[in-house]
Amino acid sequence: LVVVASLIEKMPNLAGLARTCAIFQTQALVVHDKKKMLNDQLFKQVAVSSEKWMNFQEVKDEELPAYLRRMRGEGWSIIGLEQASDSIALHKFEFPDKAILLLGKEKEGIPQPLLHLLDFCLEIPQLGMIRSLNVHVSAACTLWQWNQQFLLD
């Protein structure tokens, strides 16, 4: 599993993602600006040394469509986390062996042009009045589900 967080701007979210990706042993975390992130003090504080164990890749947000198409050409399935009419409930989804998890922008989600590049769209069923989870929390739930399928079995 590769997690693509190039659209995420807030350092606490990126740091939490790095820590979560390290814990669940994802193959890579793709970010917009690797150098800026790794030099940020808040990142270092929240990520708790995950930068030592994680493979970080840099893909600028404007390069995402080409990156996703290239990865699909290499046999990767592109999975987005988004509430959409054709979303699959996370707990019912069987992850492919080679999966890329695309995370959307804070408050906005995945931009429309990138939605068209998804092979699958996943949604975390929610019961409360608030209709969305923090992007890092959503990713953590998804990584746990992936972890159950591939690492705990």
User: Looking at residue 18, which CATH number applies to its domain?
Assistant: 3.40.1280.10
Q: What is the pLDDT along the chain (153 residues), one digit of tens a residue?
A: 999 999 999 999 999 999 999 999 999 999 999 999 888 888 888 888 887 888 999 999 999 999 999 999 999 999 999 988 889 999 999 999 999 999 999 989 999 999 999 999 999 998 887 778 899 999 999 999 999 988 766
pTM recorded for the entire structure:
0.93
Q: What is the pLDDT of residue 12?
A: 94
Q: Is there a contact between 100 and 119 (Cβ–Cβ < 8 Å)?
A: no
Number of domains in the chain: 1
Structural domain for 13, as ranges: 2-150
Q: What is the pLDDT of residue 146?
A: 94
Residues sharing a CB contact under 8 Å with residue 147, sequence separation 6 or more, in sequence order? 24
Estimate to the nearest angstrom the gap between the alpha carbon of 35 and the chain centroid. 19
Q: What is the pLDDT of residue 84?
A: 86
Q: What is the pLDDT of residue 153?
A: 60
Structure tokens at 16: 């939490």
